[in-house]
Structure 1
Amino acid sequence: MATEAIRRILSDITRIEGVRGAIIVSRDGYVLEAVVPRRDINPEDIAASVSGLVNAATRLGKDFGLGEKDIMTLEYTNGMIVVGTLGENFVMVVADKSALIGMIRNEIKKQRERLKAVV
């Protein structure tokens, strides 16, 4: 079943030290699937907010002739959000400041085609 496959992939992402959750979001801001081991994250709230930002970043890339958006990283004082495109959808990873951003980015790139196939 596709949902089980998605949850397995998202669970693999959340095993990276410092990752608080991994969420598949539609361009419209709807949560398609989420694995959030820590209960301090509401996937629906964060997905709706980040969706607008992703759409704006996509327009910026096109306006400046930079091509399609690939991975976007938002860094904050106490953590980060890493967003990777999945065709019309995207995967969003919420992590603590201690998480290794390179590991998160590599895992998104590694899992991208598998996720696109089942979303």
Structure 2
Amino acid sequence: MPPAAPKKSAGKKVLSILGVIAVIIVIAGLKFGLRTALASDPTEDAKVGDCISVNSALKDEASDTDAKIVECSSSDAKFTVIGRVDGVSDVNSTACDKFFKEGEEGAVLSSDKGKGYLLCVKTK
């Protein structure tokens, strides 16, 4: 009679199942993290002279705004970029002040992608 195949212990089965679950969690985390890290920033390449569209009216206070670069001839073009400050992402910074003329209506858009940046924009 041939020897019986060794039985896996319950502990080894549990460890195998936990290992598979851990691998699934790691893969899901990497996919989500990678997707978030690679999420595009629609104003990342904005430069002086570009026009910007926003999804809501900008206020004097900091607010989340969905902005994107659009053709200046578009009816969605609400602002024109008059300055850009890289390495700063605080909209309360005075970094954009030098770009605004007295009495000019404008706003500051910020992004914290990478090292961050500010877009100094005036109403079109």
TM-score, structure 1 normalization: 0.26
Higher helix share: 1
Structure with larger Rg:
2
Higher relative contact order (CA 8 A, sep 6+): 1
